[in-house]
Amino acid sequence: MIILSKLADYAVIIATHLGVEADRQMTAAGLAQESKLPRATVAKVLKALAHAGIVTGARGAAGGYRLARPAAAISIAELVAAIDGAIGLTQCTSHM
């Protein structure tokens, strides 16, 4: 089982909201309202997703964020890695 950090979970929620209407730009405030997440948290997640190239942002009165490519081309692992860093798998062992 994989346990996601809260921010990684929020990244999945935010990306899902952006993917519903891929041609629509959404502001951080609009995403916060729709997802019922704190605005500062949404802004922090969007900044990390933009840095990873998952979302693109436009400034100005008509600005906002949208997915950089189709939602089907973005994996959950990519979202988690954008927030938490590279995913490292470890093998659990038991000694009897």
| pLDDT at 44 (0 to 100) | 95
Helix-helix angle 76-84:6-20, to 10 degrees: 130
Residue 44 CB-density burial (10 A; 0-12 exposed, 13-18 middle, 19+ buried)? middle
Q: What is the pLDDT of residues 51-70, one digit of tens each?
A: 999 999 988 888 899 999 99
Strand partners, 57: 65
Q: What is the pLDDT of residues 12-51, one digit of tens each?
A: 999 999 998 878 899 999 999 999 999 999 999 999 999 9
How many CA atoms lie less than 13 Å away from 25 in the CB half-sphere? 11
Q: Please report the sign of the dihedral spanned by the C-alpha atoms of residue 9, residue 76, residue 4, residue 83.
A: negative
